[in-house]
Amino acid sequence: MTILTFTLILLLGAYCAGLLGSLTGLGGGVVVIPLLTMLFGVDFHYAVGAALVSSIATSSGSGSAYVKEGITNVRLGMFLEIATTIGAVCGAFVAVWLNSSTIAIIFGCVLIFTAAMQQRRKDDHEGVKGSECARRLKLYGSWPQPDGTMKDYQLKNVGGGFSVMYLAGVLSGILGIGSGVLKVLAMDALMKVPFKVSTTTSNFMMGVTACASAVVYIQRGNIEPGIAFPVMVGVLAGALTGARLLKRMKVKVLRQIFAVCILLVAINMIYNGFLGTFDK
């Protein structure tokens, strides 16, 4: 296979990854890493590095739109970024000492958790009485409604959410994914933030988290431009296309099908990880 052929196939695969990631809300990294490691035989460390670069690009593109619309809670996102950034740097340092099979097993377990969380019911929280800590930190906010009005909300359990954010950062540093599911879980289930605010704030945070991890990967030489650049361009283009299609498509069935596919990939990852296939 020539370099041009490899680049074009990788670009197309990354575009599909970004498209599916955008439509299902899982992000492109969940698809990019299996694509690189299982289809192209790329070492896990280089695949993680490429996924981190794509996360920075997609978060910067879509995150800014949500901020402009007034949905993202920027103050909450910047506060929780303290935990995710520290976790991401710790995870990146740990990852360089892990072999590929160990990372594959961890990645497979995270994929199973991600698929399970995708199927849970997503309700907005009504009448939440916020905590004193959240009030003092000025983390309360409001978000726009379809009729043009703004709806206020409060939140609680700041400490619990902050702890889960650290874990999300560690996994992001090790696996190269945005760990959006854990971030949304922390804000939605623990802190009782409205789901739409949780998802958009999580998207806003992913780029900063990935950037912190990417610095370590660059220093270690695990970001290969020939792999990272086509992945970044393809995922970004796919994510932007998915954002436009999302308004017109009913993606509930797609998400359920995609969850099954993720489970199959996860089982394959874990199986090959225990066999040591990725270390050969």
The better pLDDT of the pair 82, 277 is held by 82
Please answer whether residues 259 and 267 qualify as being in contact, where contact means their C-beta atoms are separated by less than 8 angstroms.
no
Q: For residue 100, what pLDDT band results from cuts at 50, 70 and 90? A: confident
Answer yes or no: is pLDDT of 141 > 70.
Answer: yes
Cα–Cα–Cα angle for 186, 26, 6, nearest 5°? Answer: 140
Query: pLDDT per residue over 150-169, tens digit each?
Result: 888 889 889 999 998 999 88
Look at residue 70 in the predicted model and tell me its pLDDT. Answer: 82
What is the mean predicted confidence (pLDDT) over 124-129? 76
What is the mean predicted confidence (pLDDT) over 14-19? 83
The better pLDDT of the pair 153, 21 is held by 153
Query: pLDDT per residue over 186-206, tens digit each?
Result: 888 788 888 778 877 887 887
Residue entry with tokens 């520290």:
86
Please answer whether residues 30 and 175 qualify as being in contact, where contact means their C-beta atoms are separated by less than 8 angstroms.
no
d(CA 261, CA 257): 6
d(CA 270, CA 280): 15
Reported as type and span, the H/E element at residue 141 is strand 141-144
The better pLDDT of the pair 255, 219 is held by 219
Residue entry with tokens 């929280």:
125
